Amino acid sequence: MLESSVLSACPHDCPDTCVMITTVRDGVAVKVRGNPDHPFTRGGLCVKVNDYEHRVYSSDRILQPLRRIGPKGSGSFETISWDAALAEIKTRWTAIIDESGPAAILPYSYLGTQGTLNGLSVGDAFFNKLGATISERTFCDSGAITAFFMTCGPTAAIDPESFVHSRFIVLWAINSISTNLHHWPFIAEAQRRGAKVVVIDPVTTRTAKAADWHINLRPGTDAALALGMINVIIAEDLIDHDYVERYTVGFEDLKARAAAFPPARVAEITGVAEDDLLALARGFATTQPSVIRMGVAIERSASGGNAVRALSCLPALVGSWRHCGGGIMHMPIWAFPVRWDALSRPDWIKPGTPVVNQWRLGQALTGELGLATPIRSLMVYNSNPIVVAPEQAKLEQGLSREDLFTVVSEQFLTDTARFADIVLPATTQLEQFDVMFSWGHLYLTLNEPAIAPLGEAVPNTELFRRLARTMGFDDPYWAMTDEDMAQMAFDWTSPALEGIDLATLRAKGYARLNVGSADDFVPHREGNSPTPSGKCEFKSSIAAGGNMVLPLFRQGYMGGQSGEALDPLPDYLPARESPQTNPQLASRYPLGMLSPKSHAFLNSSYGNLRKQLHHAGEQKVLINPADALTRGIAAGDVVRVYNDRGSFDAAADVSADTMAGIVVAPMGYWARR
Ligand code: SF4
């Protein structure tokens, strides 16, 4: 019997990027576990991934190319060879390009796999060369990143491990215990050492229950609460004058803006009592090191970017940046010197190439978007839009078009793949090579293939090499091996990677970036903000410029231009579909809905697997007892949740864990499972 341990990494769109060890026996992966030596993973994997080998060997895996033989959406396919699949793709795409031009082809992908090689940017070079319509990826964090850059610049800002040194920790719009599990031990350690942990969330989450103080606020009002904190801190002169003077710009403008948010008005907008606002602002200003951990949920409203900007002003205002464990954590991804443009090749984009935002896929496919070149072919990889994109009914309508040629690369027959004309088999993380950055810690991780690809599955890198050859592209880009691509994908000469290369990664599986220790990671002790002014910009210079480079997620993480001038100061804007902005709609649909990540699924991944489904239980909707009473709903009743865009059935979970007026339904369930 031959047994070995292979160094692996979790592939998922999760800040923890766990470092794994896969035990392989006679060529079969028998167990996946967390690496006990890794300072962040600490040997544990979450309930989603701790039996990853079952995902790999699931009898539901797609292991050969498939061709549709039944009606769209029926899931009826026959197996075909790769040669036959590629030949059909070439025939169909060539005809479409001849008749309508390449812009009639639309790719659609996101972070189904997070690897540097197989993740966000894979496929961009191919579709740029082809001339396809650009798929603009603003699902997550493009707004928050833009806002963070406007204030602090692209900085790692704080090491999540440094939180053990924090004394006042604000977890804002994040349920760490469910969605950033490996950060929690650092927070809990700080709590044991006497730190106060505050959770700001409209829902009483697991994390809220573990905190010292839970502040409920109305969804989408975060910016008003943050501006209220700024108002109190300035009014009570709790600011760090020296830090503000030396390392910030725009204080007087911020002061004037915050003056419009006195405690009484903030309480009215947010639902947070005035006394709580005062205590929060005072605690954050005077208990150093104070730190804010922002969750991705914060940006999901009209005022989301403003909330990030206002929150990003707070540490500079009170001098939190001076201390290890002080500041604000958005995502430390900016410490990783990834060469996104080398992977994506935006230089191959032809002028005038149309752009379709991924939020509008349903509208694009149904013709509602009025594109000059209507979409005639869609290729989906690393995503399952029927489950994760808005307007599900419209998506199904568009995907049902007989004249739409749809190609999907997948591990499983997802709700989206069921509508494909051609399905191509994709490998899992144990069958592919990759190098993993992280948006939740400061370690670079290697993922070695633990086993040979099952059946005829291929990694995304190989998929696009095959498609490039099929379409006659001969650029050296597609002659690269995965290891060549890894060499190209990082700036190995960057100080952050000093002493790190593929050989050192192979020896240990991971390496901490060369950024100093978590006990002395204080990059903004003396300002050094990577903004145009070199200071924390309360008043943003790039917003006022009116034509700035935005991290639009069109190609990798950076790129895209906007000519739209933005307000240089943070403000609060009511949610677009709130009673203030659309009273007619609000009277028809008086309940708002939050759809947070589930504890057992990772976006739509695992929504088909038995163990995780069992763990998640049936689709539930959390409803406040007052709202349940007025609708005659009892716990366990099956209710229909609906608006003009779609509907689903769920079991009512009647609980005061959500406030009146807000229902909560975790995301990730597949329509057919
Ligand atoms: S999903 Fe997140 S917490 Fe779970 S194993 Fe992967 S990286 Fe770790």
- Per-residue pLDDT for 107 more than 60? yes
3-state SS class at 172: strand
- Per-residue pLDDT for 564 more than 90? no
CA distance 227 to 326: 19
Phi (first) and psi of residue 345, to 5 degrees: 55, 60
pLDDT band with cut points at 50, 70 and 90 for residue 153:
very high
Mutate to test the pocket of ligand 1, among 46, 439, 604 (most ligand atoms within 8 A of CB): 46
103 in ligand 1 pocket by Cβ < 6 Å?
no
pLDDT band with cut points at 50, 70 and 90 for residue 435:
very high
Cβ-Cβ contacts under 8 Å for 446 (sequence gap 6 or more): 7, 9, 434, 435, 436, 502, 505, 506, 509, 510
CATH 2.40.40.20 fits 583-664, yes or no: yes
Q: Which of 147, 160, 113, 168 is nearest to 461 (CA)?
A: 113
CA distance 322 to 325: 9
Index of the ligand 1 atom closest to the CA of residue 50: 5
Output the pLDDT for position 3.
96
The least confident of 114-118, 185-189, 299-303, 402-406 is 299-303
As a CATH number, domain 66-140+336-512 is 3.40.50.740
Average pLDDT over residues 37-61: 97
Q: What tens digit of pLDDT does each residue of 334-362 get? A: 999 999 889 999 899 999 999 998 989 99
Q: How many helices (H) and strands (E) does the chain have?
A: 24, 28
What is the Å distance from ligand 1's center to 15 Cα? Answer: 8
CA distance 73 to 417: 8
Q: Strands (DSSP E) along 38-82, which ranges?
A: 66-68, 77-79
Question: Could you tell me if 217 and 660 are in contact, meaning their C-beta atoms sit under 8 angstroms apart?
Answer: no
Output the pLDDT for position 545.
55
CATH class of 143-330: alpha beta
Output the pLDDT for position 548.
45
- Per-residue pLDDT for 125 more than 80? yes
CA distance 292 to 316: 12
Output the pLDDT for position 1.
83
pLDDT band with cut points at 50, 70 and 90 for residue 562:
low
290-294/168-172 β-pairing: parallel
- The 8-class DSSP code of residue 653 comes to E
Index of the ligand 1 atom closest to the CA of residue 20: 5
What is the Å distance from ligand 1's center to 441 Cα? Answer: 12
**Domain layout of the chain by residue ranges:** 66-140+336-512, 143-330, 583-664
Question: Can you tell me which residue has the tokens 């900007």?
Answer: 309
- Per-residue pLDDT for 549 more than 80? no
Index of the ligand 1 atom closest to the CA of residue 14: 2
Q: What tens digit of pLDDT does each residue of 478-510 get? A: 999 999 999 999 999 999 999 999 999 999 999
Average pLDDT over residues 140-147: 82
pLDDT band with cut points at 50, 70 and 90 for residue 142:
confident
User: Taking all residues of the chain, what is their mean pLDDT, rounded to a whole number?
Assistant: 94
CA distance 480 to 335: 26
Output the pLDDT for position 279.
98
Looking at ligand 1, which residue's alpha carbon is closest to its atom 8?
A: 18
- The 8-class DSSP code of residue 338 comes to B
The torsion of the CA quartet 502, 506, 512, 514, rounded to 10 degrees, works out to: -30
Q: What tens digit of pLDDT does each residue of 200-233 get? A: 999 999 999 999 999 999 999 999 999 999 999 9
